[in-house]
Amino acid sequence: DLAFGLIAGPCQLESLDHARMLAEKIAESCAATKTPFIFKGSYDKANRSSLGGQRGLGAEQGLEILSKIRDEFGCPVLTDVHETHHCAMAAQAVDILQIPAFLCRQTDLLLAAGETGKAINIKKGQFLAPWDMDNVAAKVASTGNENIMLCDRGTSFGYNTLVSDFRGLPRMAQTGYPVCFDATHSVQQPGGNGNSSGGDRTMVPPLARAAVAVGTACLFIETHEDPDNAPSDGPNMIRIEDLGPLLGTLHAIDSVVKGF
Amino acid sequence: DLAFGLIAGPCQLESLDHARMLAEKIAESCAATKTPFIFKGSYDKANRSSLGGQRGLGAEQGLEILSKIRDEFGCPVLTDVHETHHCAMAAQAVDILQIPAFLCRQTDLLLAAGETGKAINIKKGQFLAPWDMDNVAAKVASTGNENIMLCDRGTSFGYNTLVSDFRGLPRMAQTGYPVCFDATHSVQQPGGNGNSSGGDRTMVPPLARAAVAVGTACLFIETHEDPDNAPSDGPNMIRIEDLGPLLGTLHAIDSVVKGF
Amino acid sequence: DLAFGLIAGPCQLESLDHARMLAEKIAESCAATKTPFIFKGSYDKANRSSLGGQRGLGAEQGLEILSKIRDEFGCPVLTDVHETHHCAMAAQAVDILQIPAFLCRQTDLLLAAGETGKAINIKKGQFLAPWDMDNVAAKVASTGNENIMLCDRGTSFGYNTLVSDFRGLPRMAQTGYPVCFDATHSVQQPGGNGNSSGGDRTMVPPLARAAVAVGTACLFIETHEDPDNAPSDGPNMIRIEDLGPLLGTLHAIDSVVKGF
Amino acid sequence: DLAFGLIAGPCQLESLDHARMLAEKIAESCAATKTPFIFKGSYDKANRSSLGGQRGLGAEQGLEILSKIRDEFGCPVLTDVHETHHCAMAAQAVDILQIPAFLCRQTDLLLAAGETGKAINIKKGQFLAPWDMDNVAAKVASTGNENIMLCDRGTSFGYNTLVSDFRGLPRMAQTGYPVCFDATHSVQQPGGNGNSSGGDRTMVPPLARAAVAVGTACLFIETHEDPDNAPSDGPNMIRIEDLGPLLGTLHAIDSVVKGF
């Protein structure tokens, strides 16, 4: 098995300069462990807890930023899509289209994404079992696009809480598709702050270690230079300066587990 | 408080004749208790468990059927919408637009639905707490459309299982909007049959009784003349001949609770 | 089917005078609906959230109080037992031995209780499914004592929260034993106050109505003249003056559902 | 931090020869990694799913076996206790008394165990949050015995299923007491086989790896030479020949995480 790859970036794109700054720091953080990374950024937060939450830069500006990051850093870029008619447009700018967890059962979105021929990262709905993703992946695969990844971002556990069931990673891997663990949204407390989601970023490192120890092809970690003032998912994002040391530990565990 | 109203119909529209036949039987079932009813039918099942599940008649044919049922029976009609660009179109044919549970956090869909000026029935996501619906309703209300109903269709409880938390009905009613209990999807076992959702229709009557006893403005009950051979949600739909007697019991409980 | 019976009393016994006062008020509250009642009181709260919680009067004094209440009011009395060697002793003073939810899998306790020949009220563990109670009841029945009742007091739902799954009542009734709904502990928030359990007594009436509407042989409702200052389970107990009016509504629903 | 220790043995004691055979193989499995081990065996399975499940050898014979294993192998031994009056007796034969998860709120049992002065391993109830264990540990500590370990064996997640929330390990460690992860019972499907509990032993290695990666002082792993024919918890126990290789991987991860 290969060493894990990393999907990293801010929750939402803020500006080209900001994306550039973060991409540079992510690249530096990945250097020691030679971790391949995919730059992630959202141009539209389409499902905020409340209307007061910032939506983002919008498609035009956001996709242009991602496109530039790809060119400048030579890394693949990823963004999430929310309606069928976004897929073709976003596919022109990015390498990987991401299906949000809430939308992972929307057949038309899965088909439209699949039909772009881009790689598709599908987040497991918080309301689904790991084995329910077999049928979800099959919807994308029906388009002839088998370039699929399945991503765990936590499962509903009572109200305003998620739990990470690590039995889900090997179960989803039975599909034959690579599996990713989203260490950022797994520590979210959905709606936990009333008008926004809470979370506990101190749990990102232990859960990321757990995922790598169980065995994962990819990690998803959102990061920011000042998470507490980030426009979304601040409570869950780790500080950019903590990323490099975390990757060191994760890489060493990965090496034990995969025997490389 | 008024006696409860009923949203009833097949899970998915099958043909005009079929819709007419069911609407007639529903009207008959409601006659003794003078229960006002809204005819419900889906023209597109956009989030089936697997690709093999039938999608339905499509928007054009489906909306035409609903429009005719409205004219012939003089009852309001309801359908569900899945992407923003469906809202205006569906609003021409129906009285109530329904936001599916998986989509209840999609801001654009909520706004587009609200902007039609039609009544909006929002299903609570299986992944949300009752109080999370305050912010969901506020998104629709921000369009100036306060004609909102909130509907409980069960909450994630472990894998492939939902549970109905009846504390949610009075909690959602604190918004000031009427609250509906969906007795059909609450007994669903999502993904429970592998390629489709299972369910247990024998639990529809007790849960419907519980909802009325707790206090509800509306019940949502899907029904069919032959549920075991229906194209979707068969395990959860009750037989049409069982609807009338059930309404009799429910009406009597409603009368006790609301004191009319 | 018979009208429901009521198990009522304080959470923990405080004194003979206090028990007498409550029993009298419970009797008055039950008079209008002719609801048969069982007086309930605990002599030892053996599983408080923290060591600081009051344990109670102890077996000797507590059982003497229950015995006197039985004599003076002519009502059956119930208490809970926590270790095997308590069963025979408690059985001398009470009519019904109750197995606490946490202990419902302890084989020796179930057998010792069963062997007393008294009626046994077994609370469903918060960690068990309704169908798991088949085997629990069978342990008691193996003693030749079939005088068994099964009682639902909520099921674990995430952390510090319980949910009442009303499908459990008919499922447990499939055992052939009468089923009780504990409206008091079902609204508990276990450990929710840090050193003690929280709760929400405003949800007792709606959940009790739901249980009666689903169909139940018995209700369990703890009550107190001043719940906010009661030594345990105060947040969940209803005020004694609210019991009578609640029973009126519940009796009317019961009459609808059971057709008497 | 020290390398993790191991609690290992059969679920229930079968005979002295059997215990000896297993202890020898456990010792061999631990040799390469120099993992210190505690031999675990139950003399009484006091809370089987159904009455048909075997109870075990009983206290006299079981404790004698444990005592001999301690003498012959020079390892500490552990057993579980279920009623207060067992504590003093069991304490004469073993080094560590274990409080079963269902019983972790029983004040008298915790106090009686604490008063023996032995080390106490308290399993977190499936119905408790990690932070609820603060008060549980304080009950034991109130006896002056601070020789406490807290052990996670899964949390209720819907019906007949447990989930391991790995955020619980660091949270319980905030008590200052060492924390153990029970990889055997965490993969249990309680009541999942109707008259007995099911489980999935293939998930023991990944969850054990996750626990070590998160950081744990101790692992609890039941093992057997022929798990499928073991008298209890067979589906969850790993084959004894798989223990040594698993420990090799776990030790390497532990070394990464703890930096030794």
Q: Over the stretch C124-158, which tens digit does the pLDDT of each residue have?
A: 999 999 999 999 999 999 999 999 999 999 999 99
CATH topology of domain D5-45+55-258: TIM Barrel (3.20.20)
User: End-to-end distance of chain B based on CA atoms, in angstroms?
Assistant: 8
Planar angle of CA C30, C34, C38, nearest 5 degrees: 55
Residues of D in contact with A257 (CB under 8 A): 209, 249, 253
User: End-to-end distance of chain C based on CA atoms, in angstroms?
Assistant: 8
Residues of C in contact with B126 (CB under 8 A): none
By C-alpha distance, the chain C residue nearest D168 is C159
By C-alpha distance, the chain B residue nearest C204 is B167
Kindly report the nearest CA distance between residue D175 and chain C, in angstroms.
14
Phi, psi dihedral angles at A104 (to 5 degrees): -75, -5
- Residue D194 pLDDT more than 80? no
What does the CA dihedral C61, C62, C64, C66 come to, rounded to 10 degrees?
160
- Amino acid at the residue A32: A
CA–CA distance, C123 with C99 (Å, rounded to integer): 6
A173 in reach of chain D (CB within 8 A): no
Helix (H, G, I), strand (E, B), or coil: what is residue D78? strand
What does the CA dihedral B241, B246, B247, B248 come to, rounded to 10 degrees?
110
What is chain C's mean pLDDT, rounded?
95
Q: What is the CA radius of gyration of chain A?
A: 17
A257 in reach of chain D (CB within 8 A): yes
CB contact under 8 A, A106 and B160: no
Read off the pLDDT band of D49 (50, 70, 90): confident
Q: Which two tokens stand for residue D156?
A: 């209720």
Read off the pLDDT band of A136 (50, 70, 90): very high
CA–CA distance, C152 with C155 (Å, rounded to integer): 8
Phi, psi dihedral angles at C99 (to 5 degrees): -95, 120
Pairing of strands D179-182, D218-224: parallel
Read off the pLDDT band of D43 (50, 70, 90): very high
The sign of the dihedral angle between the CA atoms of C165, C169, C174, C178 is positive
Read off the pLDDT band of A1 (50, 70, 90): confident
D198 in reach of chain C (CB within 8 A): no
pLDDT average, residue stretch C2-13: 96
By C-alpha distance, the chain D residue nearest A161 is D165
Read off the pLDDT band of A252 (50, 70, 90): very high
CA–CA distance, D184 with D11 (Å, rounded to integer): 9
pLDDT average, residue stretch D36-65: 92
User: Model confidence over C202-226: pLDDT tens digits?
Assistant: 999 999 999 999 999 999 999 999 9
**pLDDT number for residue D77:** 98
- Residue D258 pLDDT more than 80? yes
Residues 6+ apart with CB under 8 A from B167: B130, C187, C200, C203, C206, C207
CA–CA distance, B61 with C30 (Å, rounded to integer): 59
B158 in reach of chain D (CB within 8 A): yes
Pick the range with the lowest mean pLDDT from B108-112, D72-76, D189-193.
D189-193
- Residue C193 pLDDT more than 80? no
Which of the residues B126, B155, B156, B159 would you substitute to probe the D interface, choosing the one with the greatest number of D C-beta atoms within 10 Å?
A: B159
CA–CA distance, A190 with A178 (Å, rounded to integer): 26
| Whole-number percent of chain C with pLDDT over 90 | 89
CA–CA distance, B140 with A188 (Å, rounded to integer): 25
**pLDDT number for residue C149:** 98
Residue pair B86/B118 in contact by the 8 Å Cβ criterion: no
- Residue B22 pLDDT more than 80? yes
**pLDDT number for residue D195:** 79
**pLDDT number for residue B54:** 86
By C-alpha distance, the chain B residue nearest C187 is B167
Neighbouring chains to B with at least 3 Cβ pairs closer than 8 Å: A, C, D
Q: Which two tokens stand for residue B172?
A: 């959602």
CA–CA distance, C132 with C111 (Å, rounded to integer): 17
DSSP secondary structure code for residue D64 in this structure? H
Strands annotated E in chain A: 5-9, 37-40, 77-80, 96-99, 119-123, 148-152, 155-156, 162-163, 179-182, 188-189, 198-199, 218-224, 238-239
- Count other C-beta atoms under 10 Å from residue C117's C-beta: 12
Read off the pLDDT band of A50 (50, 70, 90): confident
**pLDDT number for residue B225:** 95
What is chain B's mean pLDDT, rounded?
95
B157 in reach of chain D (CB within 8 A): yes
CA–CA distance, B217 with B128 (Å, rounded to integer): 21
Q: Which two tokens stand for residue D10?
A: 């059969």
CB contact under 8 A, D108 and C48: no
Half-sphere exposure of B95 (CA within 13 A, CB side): 14
Ordered by start, the domain boundaries in chain D are: 5-45+55-258
- Count other C-beta atoms under 10 Å from residue C125's C-beta: 27
Which of the residues A155, A156, A161, A162 would you substitute to probe the C interface, choosing the one with the greatest number of C C-beta atoms within 10 Å?
A: A161
Q: Which two tokens stand for residue C189?
A: 């928030």
Residue C226: name the closest of C240, C205, C236 by CA.
C240
User: Model confidence over A212-227: pLDDT tens digits?
Assistant: 999 999 999 999 999 9
Separation in Å, CA A231 to CA A8, A25, A202, A226, B231: 16, 19, 19, 10, 44
CB contact under 8 A, B206 and C249: no
pLDDT average, residue stretch D197-214: 95
Separation in Å, CA D174 to CA A206, B180, D105, D150, D179: 15, 44, 19, 11, 10
D192 in reach of chain C (CB within 8 A): no
B132 in reach of chain C (CB within 8 A): no
Closest partner CB to B82 (pick from A85, A106, A191): A106
- Residue C6 pLDDT more than 90? yes
CB contact under 8 A, B51 and A160: no
Read off the pLDDT band of D208 (50, 70, 90): very high
What is chain A's mean pLDDT, rounded?
95
A189 in reach of chain C (CB within 8 A): no
**pLDDT number for residue C158:** 97
User: In sequence order, what DSSP letters do the residues of A165-191 get, joined into one string?
Assistant: -TTHHHHHHTTSS-EEEETTGGGEETT
pLDDT average, residue stretch D244-248: 98
User: Model confidence over D158-193: pLDDT tens digits?
Assistant: 999 999 999 999 999 999 999 999 999 999 998 877
Multiple choice CATH, A5-258, 3.40.50.1370, 3.20.20.70, 3.30.450.20, 3.90.79.10: 3.20.20.70
A132 in reach of chain D (CB within 8 A): no
User: Model confidence over B174-192: pLDDT tens digits?
Assistant: 999 999 999 999 999 988 7
What is chain D's mean pLDDT, rounded?
95
By C-alpha distance, the chain B residue nearest D156 is B158
Residues 6+ apart with CB under 8 A from D57: D12, D13, D14, D15, D43, D44, D65
Residues of A in contact with C158 (CB under 8 A): 157-159, 161
Closest partner CB to C138 (pick from D50, D102, D139): D50
CA–CA distance, C72 with B170 (Å, rounded to integer): 40
Helix ranges, D32-149 (H): 59-73, 84-91, 107-115, 133-141
Pairing of strands C77-80, D5-9: unpaired
Residues 6+ apart with CB under 8 A from A150: A122, A124, A133, A136, A137, A172, A175, A177, A178, A179, A180
- Count other C-beta atoms under 10 Å from residue C27's C-beta: 16
pLDDT average, residue stretch B19-38: 98
**pLDDT number for residue D54:** 86
A1 in reach of chain D (CB within 8 A): no
Closest partner CB to B159 (pick from A50, A129, A142): A129
User: Model confidence over C228-259: pLDDT tens digits?
Assistant: 999 888 899 999 999 999 999 999 999 999 99
User: In sequence order, what DSSP letters do the residues of B222-252 get, joined into one string?
Assistant: EEESSGGGSSSSGGGPEEGGGHHHHHHHHHH
Residues of D in contact with C191 (CB under 8 A): 128-129, 131-132, 135
Pairing of strands A96-99, A77-80: parallel
Read off the pLDDT band of B194 (50, 70, 90): confident
Separation in Å, CA A191 to CA A8, A159, A194, B110: 23, 9, 5, 18
Separation in Å, CA C133 to CA A250, C121, C164: 44, 12, 16
**pLDDT number for residue D215:** 98
User: Model confidence over B117-162: pLDDT tens digits?
Assistant: 999 999 999 999 999 999 999 999 999 999 999 999 999 999 999 9
CB contact under 8 A, C166 and B167: no
SS3 of chain A: helix, strand, coil, percent, to 5: 45, 20, 35
Residues of B in contact with A138 (CB under 8 A): 50-51
β-bridge partners, C98? C80, C121
CB contact under 8 A, B195 and A135: yes
**pLDDT number for residue C192:** 73
The sign of the dihedral angle between the CA atoms of C160, C163, C169, C174 is negative
Separation in Å, CA B82 to CA A83, B35, B103, B146, D203: 9, 29, 7, 20, 38
Helix ranges, B94-215 (H): 107-115, 133-141, 168-173, 204-214
- Residue A259 pLDDT more than 80? yes
Residues 6+ apart with CB under 8 A from C69: C19, C20, C23, C39, C41, C75, C77
CB contact under 8 A, C159 and A159: no
By C-alpha distance, the chain D residue nearest A252 is D256
Neighbouring chains to C with at least 3 Cβ pairs closer than 8 Å: A, B, D
User: Model confidence over A30-46: pLDDT tens digits?
Assistant: 999 999 999 999 999 88
Residues 6+ apart with CB under 8 A from B21: B225
Residue C223: which H helix or E strand, with range?
Answer: strand C218-224
Q: Which two tokens stand for residue B81?
A: 């919408």
Q: Which of residues 59-98 of A touch D (CB under 8 A)?
A: none
Residues of D in contact with B161 (CB under 8 A): 158-159
User: Model confidence over B49-63: pLDDT tens digits?
Assistant: 888 888 899 999 999
pLDDT average, residue stretch C39-60: 90
CB contact under 8 A, D85 and C85: yes
Half-sphere exposure of A39 (CA within 13 A, CB side): 31
Helix (H, G, I), strand (E, B), or coil: what is residue B189? strand
Residue A167: name the closest of D130, D222, C132, B158 by CA.
B158
CB contact under 8 A, C161 and A159: yes
CA–CA distance, D5 with A87 (Å, rounded to integer): 52
Half-sphere exposure of B199 (CA within 13 A, CB side): 25
User: Model confidence over D128-146: pLDDT tens digits?
Assistant: 999 999 999 999 999 999 9
Helix (H, G, I), strand (E, B), or coil: what is residue C246? helix
Residues of A in contact with D166 (CB under 8 A): 164, 166, 206-207, 210
CB contact under 8 A, D159 and B161: yes
Residue A157: name the closest of D166, D150, D215, D101 by CA.
D166
Residues of D in contact with A163 (CB under 8 A): 155, 157, 163, 165
Q: Which two tokens stand for residue A141?
A: 């695969």
- Residue A155 pLDDT more than 90? yes
Helix (H, G, I), strand (E, B), or coil: what is residue C180? strand
